[in-house]
Amino acid sequence: MIQAVIFDCDGVLVDSEILAHEVELKVLAEFGLRYDVHEFKARFMGMSDRAFHAALEEDGQARLGRSIIDELAPRLAAGYAVAMNARLAIVPGATEAVRAVACAKAVASSSTAAGLERKLRKVGLWHAFAPHVYSAEHVEHAKPAPDLFLHAAANLKVAPQYCLVIEDSVNGVRAARAAGMRVWGLMAGAHMDEPGRQRLIAAEAERIVENWAEAAVLFQGMPPRSI
């Protein structure tokens, strides 16, 4: 019996992952770090900024023989700002699906708190969740650790086993499972592809949901405290 639905944000509610990947792969290539796009998604999606930057710094040291993060971080931030301000959009159908959830709900995202609020306000979803909007800054260990989802559940006053998580990344699925929650993998974001589907299945997402329209039907067909 599900009593709360916890949503990831990037690539689930807002179509930001595809923009972030464009910026990241372009800037990293300019530094001399090139990645296969599928491997990049598998490794880095769902990470907090702190963990992502630490991993890139390790790659810079290993592959370029020098520290890059002091130069890299501001370049990434500037690229994100331009892309998000100009092109950020809601994932199609997300508003209707969120409205279809009759039980408790929250957002639990690896984004910064400020970035999370900015994105949710831009697409009109902030008030659908506030004050239950939680970022990696709320916990010591971000995804794939379970801490963020457990923090959200505690604030919703719902036991982990009664929570359903909606995720698009391996790190997110692993975090939800480590928290003892059910988790569905969502394919609705523009960045998702067949390798992404297979990664979610391999990470043991309970169900793959193709789009928000499908999820909304599932939400609507279930009583308020039982999904």
- Specify whether the CB–CB gap between 33 and 44 falls below 8 A: no
Residues sharing a CB contact under 8 Å with residue 25, sequence separation 6 or more, in sequence order: 35, 37, 40
Helix (H) or strand (E) holding 42: helix 37-44
pLDDT digits (tens, 9 = 90+) for 11-64: 999 999 999 999 999 999 999 999 999 999 999 999 999 999 999 999 999 999
In single-letter form, the type of residue at position 120 comes to L
Predicted model pTM: 0.93
Q: Is 70 exceeded by the pLDDT of residue 226?
A: no
Q: Which tokens sit at 65?
A: 């023989």
Q: Which tokens sit at 21?
A: 């990947």
Domains in the chain with CATH codes: 4-15+89-220 (3.40.50.1000), 17-87 (1.10.150)
Radius of gyration of the CA atoms of the chain, in A: 17
Helix axes 69-87, 49-59, angle to 10 degrees: 130
Q: Give residue 169's pLDDT band: very low, low, confident or very high (50, 70, 90).
A: very high
Residue 35 burial by Cβ neighbours in a 10 Å radius (0-12, 13-18, 19+) = middle
Higher pLDDT, 89 or 223: 89
